[in-house]
Structure 1
Amino acid sequence: MTKKKIGIVLFNEFETLDVFGPVEMWGDLPDYQVFMVSQNGGLVKSAQGVETNATYSFDNAPQFDILMVPGGMGARREVNNSALLEFLRRQDKKTEWTTSVCTGSAILAKAGVLKGRRATSNKLAYEFATSQDRSVLWQGSARWVVDGKYVTSSGVSAGTDMALGLVEIIYNRQVAEKIAHETEYIWNDNAATDLFSVGKSD
C-alpha cells in the first residue's frame, strides 16, 4: 500500500524543534512518510544553524496529505513570500490536515487559509501572528487548537504535543501514548493547558 505523505515546509531560519519534534512523533507512523519541502529544494539552514535537505521544491512537490508549517525568526520574512503563500494555498485545497507550529500559523493566516477558524501561535510572538489576519479566531490560551482539518500549536515545544494530539485523532490514544513512551517524552496531552497563555481569545 502506498503511504500517505507528510510535507514539512522549510525556509531559512526555521525553528529547529518546530520541525524535528513533530518529525520524531510522526516519523514511524505505519501509514505515512515524512518529506521536507522548500521553495527551491536542497539545503535549508535553521535559526540554530542546522542544515536540512528538502527533497522537494514548491514546483515539483507532490500533493501532501498532511502539511506542516513551522515558525522561527524566518517566519517574519516569509509572511511576505508570495511563492510560499501561493504554495500553501494550492496544497491546502487537497490536504487532509493542514498544521503549524509556533509562528507557522502566522504564515498560514497570511495565506488566508485560517479565515474564521480558531487557531493559536507562539505567545511571545502573539501580536505578530494575530496581525497577519484579524479574521482568524485567535486563541490566547491554548497549547494547540483543532478546528476542522486545521491544527495549530503554540511555541516551539508545543508542536511536539500537537503532533501527538494529531496521532491520537488519526489513530487512537494508545498509539499516541506508545510513541510518547518509546521516546521517553512527557506528553502535555491537554490542548487547553497553556502555561504560557496571554489570557485572551478572539
Structure 2
Amino acid sequence: MTEKLRVGMVIFEGFEILDVFGPLEFFGRYPEQFEIIMLAESMGAIASAQGPSAMADEALTSAAPVDILIVPGGKGTRREVDNADLLAELCRLAGNAQFVCSVCTGAGLLAKAGLLDGKRATTNKLSYAWATAQGPETEWIAEARWVEDGNTFTSAGVTAGMDMAIALIAKIMGIDAAREAARYAEYIWNEDPRNDPFAKLAGLL
C-alpha cells in the first residue's frame, strides 16, 4: 500500500468555512490515500468567519511536515497577513510539501509569505484588489477558476476550492478518481480552470 499523503489544512480565527471543508470533503473520499490534519497557531477550537469552530489537531510550530499544504481564505486573512510567525510557519511547511495550495483570499497569505513570487496565481474575484496587493511579484490571473503553476495550486472564491481540490486529486490519482469523488458528493465539477464567469461579474475583464 502507498504511504498516505498528509494534507495539512491551516485554520485561523475568521477562516471561511467552505474554503476549509469543501476541499476536505473530496480528499476525505480516499482515506487510504490522504490523511487530513488541521493546523493552527494553537491547538483547540478555532472560530470560523461564520461562527462554528473547527478543532486544530496540531500547532503550526510543532507540526510535522505535510505533503499537501492548504491555506483557506476568510475575513481573518486581513489580520493574518501581518502575522510574521504564521507566515514563517507557512514557509517552513511549504518547503517540504509536494503541493502548496490556497483557496480564495488564502492566496494573499501565500503571496505575503513570498510563496507566490514569480508564479501564476488567482484568488477571490470580489477581494481581488486586496489579495493581489499582497504579492507584487506574482503574475495574477483574473479569469481563472484555479491556476496550477508547478507544485502550486491557487483557486478563486470559496467554492472554487472544491474544483481545485478535485483537480489536485486528478493529478495525484488520475481523472477517474477525481470524477468519482465529485460524483460521490453529487457535485458538478468544473473541469476547465479557464471557465470562470465570476471575473466578468466582478468587473475584472
Distance apart, 1:60 and its partner CA: 1.7
Distance apart, 1:133 and its partner CA: 1.4
The one of 81, 87, 100 equivalent to 2:83 is 81
Identify unmatched segments of 5+ residues in structure 2: none
Distance apart, 1:88 and its partner CA: 0.6
Task: State the superposition RMSD in angstroms.
Answer: 1.2
Letter in 1 for 2:20: V
TM-score with structure 2 length normalisation? 0.95
Distance 2:121 2:98 in 1: 17
2:199 match: secondary structure: coil
Residues 129-148 of structure 1: pairs in structure 2 closer than 5 A: 129-148=131-150
Q: Does 1:104 align with 2:102?
A: no
Distance apart, 1:45 and its partner CA: 0.5
Equivalenced residue count is 201
CA contact under 8 A between 1:139 and 1:200: conserved in structure 2?
Answer: no
1:159 match: secondary structure: helix
Aligned to 1:63: 65
Distance 2:109 2:73 in 1: 8
Identify unmatched segments of 5+ residues in structure 1: none
Q: Does 1:32 align with 2:31?
A: no
Distance 2:69 2:198 in 1: 25
Aligned to 2:4: 3
Deviations 1:136-172 (A, max 9, x none): 0000000000000000000000000100011111111
TM-score with structure 1 length normalisation? 0.96
Identity of matched residues, %:
45
